[in-house]
Amino acid sequence: MNSASDFLQQVAQLQDELRLVVDQTDPKVVEETAVKLEGLNYAPTVMLPIAEFLRIKKIDLLGRIEEIILLSDEEVYELAPGDPRSYFAIKLQFISALVYYFKQLARLRRDVPEAWDEVDELYVHD
C-alpha cells in the first residue's frame, strides 16, 4: 500500500462490509454472549480491550474505525512498536481485524451454530 488514497479506498470497502453485518440490538443477548465468551477466555486479536469489543455495537465500531483512520504516525507506531510496515498498512490491519472479528461476533450473538463450533474448536477442545 503506497498512498493515502489506496488506504482510504480499502477502508471504505471494509466499512461498507461492516455496514452490511446484521447486528444484535438486544442488550441482554449482547451481554449474555459477551459473558459466555469471557468464560471461554475468548481473545480475538483486536486493538480494543476485549470486554469493550465483546459488547460493542456496529455503530460504535464504525466510530472507532474513524478514530483509527485519524491516528498519527507516532500513535500508530506506539501501538505497533518495531513493525516495519507503513503506518497505512498497520492501520489497515487494525481495521481489518476489527471487521473480521466483529462479523464473527455478530454470528455468535445471533447464535449461529457454525460460529459457536469454531469457538468451541479453538477455545474448548484444545
Domain boundaries in the chain?
A: 4-87+102-124
In this prediction, residues 25-42 reach a mean pLDDT of: 95
- Tell me the H-state helices in 20-122: 27-39, 50-55, 58-69, 73-79, 87-109, 113-119
Query: Of the candidates 122, 123, 126, 106, which has an alpha carbon nearest to the alpha carbon of residue 19?
Result: 106
Query: What's the distance, Cα to Cα, between the start and end of the chain in Å?
Result: 37
Which residue's C-alpha cell is 455503530?
A: 59
The pTM is what?
A: 0.91
Structure confidence at residue 126 (pLDDT): 56
